[in-house]
Amino acid sequence: MKVAPEEIERPDALGGIGNSGSVSGCQSPIRRADHVSFYDVEGIRADFPILQQPMHGYPLAYLDSAASAQKPFQVIEAEHAFYARDYANIHRGFYVLSQRATELYDQARRKAQAFLNARQEHEIVFTRGTTDAINLVAASFGEAFLKEGDEVLLTGLEHHSNIVPWQLLRAKKGIVLKVAPVNETGEVPLDEFIRLLGPRTRLAAFAHVSNVLGTVLPIAEMIRAAHKAGAKVLVDAAQSVAHTEIDVQALDCDFLAFSGHKLYGPTGIGVLYGKEELLDAMPPYQGGGDMIASVSFERTTYAPLPAKFEAGTPPIAQAVALGAAIDYVTALGLEPIGAHEAGLLAYATERLSAIKPLTIVGTAPKKASVLSFVMDGVHPHDIAQVLDSRGVAVRAGHHCAQPLMARLGLPATVRASFGLYNTTAEVDALTEALEAVEVMFLR
Amino acid sequence: MSDSVELYSKAVLDFGRHPRNRRVIAACSHSAQSDNPSCGDELSVSLRIDQNDVICEAAFDGRSCVLATASASLMTELLVGKTPAQAKMLFHRFHALASGDKEEFDDGMDVESARLTVLSGVHAYPVRMRCATLAWNTMLAALENERTQR
């Protein structure tokens, strides 16, 4: 089949749900416009093939989007179409496929740029995910700007991925890690955070949203305070990017990281946003192909941004499909998505609060759609197992945040988290399954 | 209704509500502690082995889910009266059961092994295997870990 080059531009031209993921633009039906103007959750669910299957004879209630979100067919189709029609390695290809793949890869970067409102396209570095992005900053920013005795300020609710890279750097360079404490409700009090900013603080690195408790941190104020103290800021947006709009220029953060798979996109792809002047001043993270300008055994010069930080063949199809995921979320609108999820969280909080032996963990006034809880006398693993037997998929454990769990005095919690496709009926299924747990273990 | 409910048989739930031998043996001769990294659970096993090389007391302690608690309860009940070598045999019997090796398990079926079958459901749940085997692995470590007498 002959493909006219202008067809590659069609997804952009059409935009919106129902065709955004398809390179050819012909496989996917175009959806009604009211899909966007009012929140048609049933219509949205129809986009997610995986949600259509029953689980143990019950409708599947997927309440684990904070771990990883499911994918709409627009994303699945985008990756499929890319491999089926447009795939080749990017850059320096003299043939059509390589040029097409390069263009689609670059287009995905522009989508990520627009999504975060980054000033420059080359401030978007594709990584394997949030973890990879944080490790990149720790290794490269750490190499360029941190020396013995310099301080990095974290918070007590960080995911292990925003703790361990800094500990590795501490072992290497002798930096000092400071930790802003978490209070009883699961918040990081701003004054405590500010109190820990000192003359040696070079970087503050913190989550936008707690993956365990859902607490939304006051990042705008934290960034301002850190800058006032002369520190740079890295925001871990893994848990926020699918729920709320992010404008890196308005926030003025220096770095921001997120993963594609929590944004209804593929695994193996993520984004590091970094301010141009910082990325420019930082050494490469990994060496290899694609990140060089020229190589000889005597001397190698590096490619300009963002290639300097993208050594080797990147996850090309995943980047393209991440672009489709960004289109999908953008077409629905993060504001309506956030409002829908806030409604679910409020409803779930109300229903679960009525279960006597159950305690909700994390009661900050500002929460994203994450609900952690424990039940007196029943282990989280057993709760999650019984929930699974009724088609309700939740996570149980320490959620890769053991310091936070220690602070809360809990070995583990059960966590239900909501995404753009969840419904109040699924909250009801969760509630009924929890009542069954109570009967089974406690009566 | 799914298989997972079979995990929680009446016997398992009963052990969960009324754990057996849940304590620390102060005068133990062997002990070990381990954790389940997937959930942060911690479990200790303490044993008292007498001069005739027979386990005369076995106990477990710590925080754990119903499956781990039931498995530890059953294990500590079965260990009493056994030599360390027999305890290791029992470990292998349990391992065969938990990993779904039915042929191997049925081959050596006896009254004691039959009691283990209340936990046979776990082999279908790889994540819960760790829960069910936590006490057993800790027991094995304890046998290697003779406590220096003060």
Catalytically active residues of A, by annotation? 400
Mean pLDDT for the stretch of residues A186-212? 98
Residues of B in contact with A57 (CB under 8 A): 1-2
- Summarize pLDDT for A2-50 with one digit per residue, the tens: 444 444 443 333 334 543 333 343 344 444 444 444 799 999 999 999 9
Enter the pTM of the model: 0.89
Question: CB distance from B124 to chain A under 8 Å?
Answer: no
Strands (E), A42-145: 54-55, 58-59, 61-62, 124-127
**Cβ pair A388:B39 closer than 8 A:** no
Asked if A433 and A416 count as a contact pair (C-beta separation under 8 A), the reply is no
pLDDT at A161 over 80: yes
Break chain A down into helix, strand, coil percent, rounded to 5: 45, 15, 40
- The CA distances from residue A101 to A13, A89, A269, B53, in Å, are 18, 7, 16, 71
Which range, of A71-80, A344-353, B113-122, averages the lowest pLDDT? B113-122
CA distance B124 to B99: 8
> What are the pLDDT tens digits along chain B (150 aa)?
444 557 898 889 999 889 999 999 999 999 999 988 777 788 999 999 999 999 999 999 998 899 999 999 999 999 999 999 999 999 999 999 988 888 888 887 788 888 898 898 888 888 888 889 999 999 999 999 876 443
Phi, psi dihedral angles at A429 (to 5 degrees): -60, -40
**Cβ pair B1:A56 closer than 8 A:** yes
CATH architecture of A101-330: 3-Layer(aba) Sandwich (3.40)
Phi, psi dihedral angles at A23 (to 5 degrees): -65, -40
What are the residue ranges of helices labelled H in A174-315?
190-195, 219-228, 248-251, 276-281
Query: Which tokens belong to A29?
Result: 């039906």
Residues of B in contact with A379 (CB under 8 A): 39, 41, 63-66
Instruction: Report pLDDT for B5.
Output: 58
CATH architecture of A334-442: Alpha-Beta Complex (3.90)
Instruction: Report pLDDT for A442.
Output: 86
Query: Which tokens belong to A263?
Result: 């944004």
**Cβ pair B2:A412 closer than 8 A:** no
Instruction: Report pLDDT for A32.
Output: 42
pLDDT at A221 over 50: yes
More confident residue, A248 or A288: A248
Chain A positions touching chain B (beta carbons under 8 Å): 56-57, 378-382, 385-386, 388-389, 396-398, 402, 405, 411-412, 440-441
Nearest to A421 by CA among A58, A55, A110, A65: A65
Residue in chain A lying closest to B41 (CA): A411
More confident residue, B36 or A326: A326
The proportion of chain A whose per-residue pLDDT surpasses 70, expressed as a percent, equals 92
pLDDT at A336 over 80: yes
Query: Which of A57, A382, A402 is the closest to B40 by Cβ?
Result: A402
Query: Which of A56, A381, A389 is the closest to B39 by Cβ?
Result: A381
**Cβ pair A398:B64 closer than 8 A:** no
Q: Residue A92: which pLDDT band, with cuts at 50, 70 and 90? A: confident
Asked if A436 and A390 count as a contact pair (C-beta separation under 8 A), the reply is yes
> Which string of DSSP letters, residue by residue, matches A281-300?
HSPPSS-STTSEEEE-SS-E
Nearest CA distance, B50 vs chain A (angstrom)? 35
Asked if B3 and B120 count as a contact pair (C-beta separation under 8 A), the reply is no
Tell me the ipTM for this assembly: 0.84
Instruction: Report pLDDT for B2.
Output: 46
Question: CB distance from B61 to chain A under 8 Å?
Answer: no
Mean pLDDT for the stretch of residues A202-227? 98
Residue in chain B lying closest to A414 (CA): B39
Q: Residue A425: which pLDDT band, with cuts at 50, 70 and 90? A: very high
More confident residue, A28 or A165: A165
**Cβ pair A385:B63 closer than 8 A:** no
Which range, of A149-158, A219-228, A299-308, averages the lowest pLDDT? A299-308
* HSE-CB for A423 with a 13 A CA cutoff: 14
CATH class name, domain B4-143 = alpha beta
More confident residue, A222 or B148: A222
Mean pLDDT for the stretch of residues A160-172? 98
More confident residue, B120 or A334: A334
Domain regions of chain A by residue span: 101-330, 334-442
Q: Residue A421: which pLDDT band, with cuts at 50, 70 and 90? A: very high
Torsion of Cα atoms, A167 then A160 then A190 then A151, to 10°: 10
Query: Which of A381, A405, A411 is the closest to B131 by Cβ?
Result: A381
pLDDT at A363 over 60: yes
Nearest CA distance, A257 vs chain B (angstrom)? 25
Question: CB distance from B134 to chain A under 8 Å?
Answer: no
